Structure 1
Amino acid sequence: MRSFEDLDQLVGAVPFGVVADLRTVDAGRGSQPLHRLVLPELLEALAGHARTASTEASCGMDGIVVSDRTRTAQVLARRIDGLRDRDEQELAGYGAALDHLDDLDEDQRPRADVDLVLDLHRLLFRFTPTPGGRLRQVENVVAGAAPDGARVKRFTPVPVAATPAHLDELVARYRRAQDAGRHHPVVLVGLFTLDLLAIHPFVAGNGRVARMLTNALLQDAGYDVTRYVPVEPVMARSPERYSTALLDSTHDWHLSRHDPWPWLRYLVSALADVTTQLAALTSSARRAGSKQGRVRDHVLHHARPQFRISEVRAGLPDVSDQTIRLVLAQLRTEGLIEADGVGRSATWSRRG
């Protein structure tokens, strides 16, 4: 809530380094329609890997680790009869919360909603003896480890009695900021995460809920990159930078005198990192091998099951129509594809 009380004054001028990273993230967003059109199977494979990697990294940041990766996949896919320990219970809960986000209909958006925050927390602890979905009922402080290993106070969350009002106000102000459209959507998502963590509505699981919501809000704003290349492993590789950025930006938050840019700079940089990774993966898929080999690979592994020549041309802009048609004829002779119609409106379908 605090970051949205006087948003124009708080955010002010965006630092140059953040502007550059936002341009990278925006460029990635602009490429998404083309990637979905010409590389659907690659994106599907990346999404499956990203879901597991995101879950492992986000849970690992909270000390929840299942060392057997095969077991991790089974837990997330719900292909096991029983959960062995608390780590597996919380891992399964994270997967259930992600399923809930995936199942939301278009008319249930925007996803910034207090009920959704509570639902995600409830699902996070669904398989544990600890009840989820309940706001904090005791006052506490957020502690962390000092360089010498000692536990030190990080910050004091919002008082218990004020937490519900702060959550309601955060959601309302975030939605108004979205509707106003004066500030970059990624900046608004970062501020929402910052304020949610400063409010600290739950005894445990705040970080995991915030990271899930960050991805959901980014995707609602049109930034799908974390669906295919997760940002949580980037955060998990630099836990000190992650916690320091949050700590620096929550200092004096209760007085509305905090500086959001340490956190925003960190988050936007991480998003630019994964956007660059996705660009490299899609570029490699589109350019691997000879031109005929690339057309063949694209048609058999990356194009939609039913596609048009124009889609292949869009995915391989440096390959001539003559080469594309030659490869299509070869694949049809091999019985791997078939033509549906003739002329400019014709489509092609993979067989088998």
Structure 2
Amino acid sequence: LRGEDIAAWEKDKKEVWGYVKVLEYIDKLGEKGVDTITEDMILEIHRLNTHGILHDSEAGHYRTVQVAVVNGLGRVTFQPPEAAQVSSLMNGFIAWLNSQEAKEAYPVLVSGIAHYEFVRIHPFVDGNGRTARALATLILYLRGFDTKRFFALDDYYNEDCNRYYAALQTVDPRTIDITQWLEYFTEGVAVSMGRVKQAILDLSVDRRIKEQRGQIYLNDRQMKILKYLQTNPRITISEIQKMFDISRDTANRVLKPLLENTLVKKIGKGRAIYYVLV
């Protein structure tokens, strides 16, 4: 707290830095037009994710020891395959990722299946979850979910880790029915993509304001009106009233700076008046 690093904070910083490096790596693969996922790519994603956290002999290398997944009470909740099986299991996994079957399937489902199978194999001593989510992001990115680094699954799943792990554990190893997991996973993709859309709209509004009028101050209500008009052709005073639960006079005051700065303009007369982006 006096300029000194605490061990846990140091690890968190390294994880964040690794996360940034992984997203940059995924972006570069997309720019190269890569359409095949290789073992080297997966190992590099893990190495970037765990650099400075794991020993060099473990970062970017398959595990050589048996591991177990334990809960907060120290109880074993999952026993991954033996270390001797990891290499062959990963070879089969990567072959499926690049198979015609996987390429013809819906990308979100392929990404969700890959995420689960990777975690099931648990090929590394640590960092399997982060690497699985990065791999899922890579699959979506290479299959057309080109969001220029806005899109990453970690944000959604990290918000409720208990639900994330609970969803993984809904899979019955006897039947390999992953329906519940895929429902949860696809929900995460949908929420994440919604956030991407909102981030792009926010940037679009900011850019419009700066290009037209330089740096000006707008309050939250005025920003919300501009964002609304990014996806809707028009807005009326009545709609602004309902949007914020305010009086007609207040709605007109909220709108006034947008008109004065020529960010929106009035169309029509009398009761038919509405407002559009300039």
Higher-Rg structure is 2
Check 1:298–1:95 CA distance in 2 against 1; reply closer, same or farther (3 A cut). closer
CA distance in 2, matches of 1:109, 1:119: 15
- 1:268 paired to 2:180: no
CA distance in 2, matches of 1:95, 1:283: 23
Give 1:112's aligned amino acid.
Answer: I
TM-score, normalised to structure 1's length? 0.52
Identity %, equivalent residues: 24
Which structure has more RCO (C-alpha within 8 Å, separation ≥ 6)? 1
Partner residue, 2:69: 142
- 1:208 paired to 2:135: no
Q: Which segments of 5 or more consecutive residues in structure 2 lack a partner in the other structure?
A: 1-6, 214-229, 235-261, 263-278
Check 1:300–1:221 CA distance in 2 against 1; reply closer, same or farther (3 A cut). farther
Partner residue, 1:259: 177
Check 1:190–1:300 CA distance in 2 against 1; reply closer, same or farther (3 A cut). farther
Q: Which segments of 5 or more consecutive residues in structure 1 lack a partner in the other structure?
A: 1-63, 67-84, 289-293, 302-314, 320-329, 331-352
CA distance in 2, matches of 1:295, 1:105: 26
Counterpart mapping for 1:1-352 below 5 A:
66=9, 85-104=10-29, 106-107=31-32, 109-110=34-35, 112-128=37-53, 130-131=55-56, 132-145=59-72, 150-176=73-99, 177-179=101-103, 181=104, 183-225=105-147, 227-249=149-171, 251-252=172-173, 255=174, 257-282=175-200, 297=209, 300=212, 318=233
CA distance in 1, matches of 2:18, 2:127: 11
User: What's the offset of the Cα at 1:232?
Assistant: 2.1
Check the 8 A contact 1:186/1:268 in 2, yes or no. Answer: yes
Runs of 4+ in 1 over 6 A off after TM superposition: none
Check the 8 A contact 1:111/1:217 in 2, yes or no. Answer: no
Aligned length: 212
CA distance in 2, matches of 1:93, 1:296: 33
CA distance in 1, matches of 2:195, 2:18: 28
TM-score, normalised to structure 2's length? 0.65
User: What's the offset of the Cα at 1:97?
Assistant: 2.9
